[in-house]
């Protein structure tokens, strides 16, 4: 399951999105040890199973320290990244061979283990742009001499917007509620009506 805080721009507000969304992102990720998948999440096919009984809470907390700060990360093959104008995930689903993109620099500001009930663990993550939670969980599983994939992922913050303060629950997905939730962009002026 994935739940994401998504910010949508309408009209002239679309021009301001890149400015409004600068800053960090926060996620809550639930990972499962002992199984790796081709997509690095629960939607994929299991590609590897390994023992995880040796892993303790202290082991995870210690390994997480290696993933904080400026780190190098290889993006997942199943991603929105493109090759020759097409998403890698689409190419893979069409049966094309796709090579991994090179590791790139990403930033992790904060990374904590919230819960550990083997084989499941919950991480609280604050990161910069270009970061892939699925790659983190996969890399963590390998660092623990096992494997892991993402079971659930929730984006709780993007820039200045938080899930807690800005969510529009499904029962309110009506035109009336959507119009009430729209917020004018600071600095944008309403268009003047033309004289006829």
Helix, strand, coil % (nearest 5) of the chain?
25, 35, 40
Task: Look up the pTM and report it.
Answer: 0.77
Cβ atoms of 8 and 21 closer than 8 Å: no
CA distance 128 to 159: 10
Q: Please compute the mean of the pLDDT values over residues 81-106 and round it to a whole number.
A: 79
Return the DSSP state at 167: -
Q: Please compute the mean of the pLDDT values over residues 26-42 and round it to a whole number.
A: 96
CA distance 137 to 150: 6
Taking each helix axis from N to C end, the angle separating 57-64 and 133-143, rounded to the nearest 10 degrees, works out to 120
Q: Which two tokens stand for residue 123?
A: 């991480």
| Lowest mean pLDDT segment, chosen from 38-52, 93-107, 180-194 | 180-194
């Amino acid at each position: 399951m994935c739940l994401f805080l998504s910010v949508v721009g309408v009209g002239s507000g679309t021009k301001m999105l890149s400015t409004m969304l600068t800053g960090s992102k926060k996620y809550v990720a639930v990972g499962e040890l002992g199984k790796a998948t081709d997509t690095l999440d629960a939607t994929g096919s299991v590609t590897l199973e390994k023992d995880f009984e040796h892993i303790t809470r202290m082991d995870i907390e210690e390994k997480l320290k290696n993933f904080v700060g400026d780190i190098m990360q290889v993006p997942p093959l199943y991603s929105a990244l493109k090759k020759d104008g097409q998403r890698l995930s689409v190419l893979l689903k069409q049966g094309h061979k796709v090579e991994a993109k090179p590791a790139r620099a990403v930033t992790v500001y904060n990374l904590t283990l919230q819960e550990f009930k083997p084989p499941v663990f919950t991480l609280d993550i604050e990161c910069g742009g270009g970061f892939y939670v699925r790659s983190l969980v996969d890399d963590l599983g390998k660092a623990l001499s096992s494997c892991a994939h993402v079971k659930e992922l929730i984006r709780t913050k993007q820039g200045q917007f938080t899930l807690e303060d800005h969510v529009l629950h499904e029962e309110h997905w009506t035109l009336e509620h959507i119009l009430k939730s729209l917020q004018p962009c600071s600095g944008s002026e309403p268009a003047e009506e033309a004289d006829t």
